Amino acid sequence: MEKPQAYTVTIVSKEQVGEHIYFVRFSLPEDKEIHFEAGQTVMFKVPSGVNPDSIGVNRSMSIASSPSKTQELLMCHDTKPMGPFSKWTIQSKIGDTIDIIGPLGIFTLDKESPRNKILIATGTGIAPFRSMLLDVFSNYALSTIHYELFLYWGLRHETDIYWNDEFTDLAKRFPNFHYYLTLSQPQPSWSGLKGRVTAHLDTIIDTNAEYYLCGSNDMIREVKEKLLDAHVPKEQIKHEAFFT
């Protein structure tokens, strides 16, 4: 893995895709590149000018873009907690800069292992999985992928959905990728999977598979307990918590 470095990045686009969800794309200086593994994070140093509470505040965020994009980073930010970094994201505009350190973290896909890989996300915990999937399916011939990939993503409402078309398209193009979206509080007209993502665990537990969990602490704790109770070896379970 590359050693982390300090960069000053610039906002080049910002899009609100849900009530509290923002996509923010950053560019690096023209003479800089960042080389990261899919699933890694960067640490944002929240500018002290946002509010007094932001002084000295750092926030780690997963990179949602492909590792092939070495001069840009995509952040998927749930601002509902409304901490200093959430406030900065809401107030920020194209052209604003922020200091980061990265890449960081070891929550990465073991692409060399032949074990099937089951990715389980809630909310914006989907961000590192998007990076992983873009990396796998853009850099490897289908014949070299000797495992099945499963993505289970839990959200609350239809209005919380984004990237659904992208994942659906990947599942159509690559027969070894299987995508499942479930809503815990859908409208009556919703025809897809229903319930929390943990409600669908019993049908997917495989003691030979690798599990990657990202999202709320509650989800990770519940899934990890179920997997261990089903005798999935703990070394086959990786996780990254996004919020409490």
**Which residues are within 8 A (CB) of 41 and not within 5 positions of it... i.e. 6 or more apart?**
60, 61, 62, 63, 102, 103, 104, 105, 107, 128
More confident position, 221 or 112: 221
Q: How far is CA 20 from CA 153, 182, 220, in A?
A: 18, 19, 22
CB-CB contact of 126 with 18 (8 Å): no
| pLDDT (0 to 100) of residue 112 | 86
138's enclosing H/E stretch is helix 127-139
Q: Does domain 5-104 have CATH number 2.60.40.10?
A: no
Q: What is the mean predicted confidence (pLDDT) over 192-202?
A: 89
pLDDT attached to residue 237: 97
Domain with CATH 3.40.50.80 in the chain: 117-243
- Tens of pLDDT, residue by residue over 97-132, are 999 999 999 999 998 899 999 999 999 999 999 999
pTM, rounded to two decimals: 0.94
- Give tens-digit pLDDT for 14-64: 999 999 999 999 999 999 999 999 999 999 999 876 666 666 789 999 999
**12 in Cβ contact with 72 (< 8 Å):** yes
Are the C-beta atoms of residues 213 and 187 closer than 8 Å to each other? no
Mean pLDDT in residue range 91-97: 96
Range 192-203 average pLDDT: 88
Confidence (pLDDT) at 141: 56
As assigned by CATH, the class of the 117-243 domain is: alpha beta
Token duo for residue 133: 């999937």
pLDDT of 164 above 50: yes
Tokens of 95: 């052209």
244 pLDDT band, cuts 50/70/90, is very low
**Which residue would you say has higher pLDDT here, 54 or 3?**
3
Write the CB contacts of 79 (distance below 8 Å, at least 6 apart in sequence): 20, 21, 22, 86, 87, 89, 90
pLDDT for the residue 52: 63
Q: Residue 168: which residues within 8 A CB-CB, separation 6 or more?
A: 179
Tokens 């107030």 appear where?
91
Interatomic CA distance for residues 100 and 130, integer angstroms: 21
Residues of the chain with CATH 2.40.30.10: 5-104
**What pLDDT shows up at residue 86?**
93
- Report whether 53 contacts 104 (CB < 8 A): no
pLDDT at 50: 61
Q: Which of 232, 217, 227, 202 lies closest to 122 in space, CA to CA?
A: 217
Give the pLDDT confidence score for residue 165 in this predicted structure.
97
Interval 216-234 mean pLDDT: 94
Tell which residue, 64, 92, 67, has the closest CA to residue 163. Answer: 64
Q: Which two tokens stand for residue 40?
A: 């890694």
pLDDT given for residue 140 in this prediction = 63
Structure confidence by residue, pLDDT tens digits, 145-154? 789 999 999 9
Q: Which residues contact 27 (CB under 8 A, 6 or more apart)?
A: 9, 10, 12, 71, 72
In the prediction, which pLDDT does 145 show?
78
